[in-house]
Amino acid sequence: MTPRRPFQRVGEEARRAALIEATLDLIAEGGPQAATVRAIALRAGVTPGLIRHYFATKEDLVAAAHEVLMTGLTEASAARLGELPDDPLSRLSEFLANAVSPPVADPRSVALWAASMQLVPRDEAMRRVHEATYLGFRDRLEAMIAEALATTGRRDEDTRALAIAGNALLDGLWIEAGALPDHFREGELKSIAIKAFSRLLSLDLPEG
């Protein structure tokens, strides 16, 4: 039986966040089909009718949950960059290392991404959210690539193409890290990501 959260009087944002978290939990446990309105309401400790107060449709709720997931992963990839020296090469290396390490790369996140991706081709709200979050990550990566290349005077490179290729590389490592975390040595995927980007960009990116 799905556990029900105890009823609490909470604010609008907290209630909305609880609905999103309940949706993510259910999708992680049983795929998109497990996230029914009844199951979400039960998990969040609300009535099914209250969901309509926050989201026009269940599809809108699922899309909002996907946005929270993907935006959170992007922000986690950029964690602690502000603590580093103002060195574009070091900042890019840290971003790459974060993108293929916990908490970004973990089984739950990869499972949620895989479950959500089956909805993207046939659900317009999901497609819009996925496009926006994908471009949000890729644009951030592109800006960091441009800054890193500029340190060697290379300002005319096709940074868009480099970001597309680099994002695909990170996606592959991220999926492997989340799907089979016990198959890699500590720090192995960080090193692989940084070395691969060093070759892609013809730069000497620092490791650690």
Give the model's pLDDT for residue 26: 96
What is the per-residue DSSP string for 37-85?
A: HHHHHHHHTS-HHHHHHH-SSHHHHHHHHHHHHHHHHHHHHTTTGGGS-
Question: First vs last Cα of the chain: how many Å apart?
Answer: 46
All structural domains of the chain, each given as residue ranges with its CATH number in brackets, are 12-55 (1.10.10), 61-201 (1.10.357.10)
Give the separation between CA 94 and CA 190, rounded to whole angstroms.
Answer: 9
pLDDT at 82: 77
Amino acid at 107: P
- Residue 208 confidence (pLDDT) above 80: no
What sections of the chain are H helices per DSSP?
A: 12-30, 37-44, 48-54, 58-77, 88-99, 107-117, 124-150, 159-179, 188-201
In angstroms, the CA 22 to CA 16 distance is 10
Residue 79: predicted pLDDT:
87
pLDDT above 90 (res 164): yes
For residue 3, what pLDDT is reported? Answer: 54
Tell me if 198 sits within 8 A of 152, measured CB to CB: no
Rounded CA-CA distance 21/70 in Å is: 13
Q: Give residue 1's pLDDT.
A: 46
Average pLDDT over residues 139-166: 96
Q: Report in angstroms the alpha-carbon separations of 53 from 12, 14, 48, 56, 125.
A: 10, 14, 10, 7, 18
Percent of the chain with pLDDT over 70: 95
Asked if 139 contacts 164 with a C-beta cutoff of 8 angstroms, the reply is: no
Question: What is the rounded average pLDDT of the residues 11-16?
Answer: 84
The confidence score (pLDDT) of residue 17 equals 94
pLDDT digits (tens, 9 = 90+) for 26-78: 999 999 999 999 999 999 999 898 898 899 999 999 999 999 999 999 999 99
Mean predicted confidence (pLDDT) in 176-194: 95
Between the CA of residue 144 and those of 172, 181, 187, what are the distances in Å?
A: 20, 27, 22
- Residue 5 reports pLDDT greater than 80: no
Write the pLDDT tens digit of every residue in 101-145. 999 999 999 999 999 899 999 999 999 999 999 999 999 999 999
Token pair for 22: 């309940």
pTM for this structure? 0.87
**Average confidence (pLDDT) over 178-186:** 93
Give the residue-averaged pLDDT of 9-18: 80
As a whole number of angstroms, the distance between CA 194 and CA 190 comes to 6
Distance between CA 31 and CA 115 in Å, rounded? Answer: 6
Where residue 89 falls among pLDDT bands split at 50, 70, 90? very high
- Give me the pLDDT at residue 13, please: 85
10: pLDDT strictly greater than 90: no
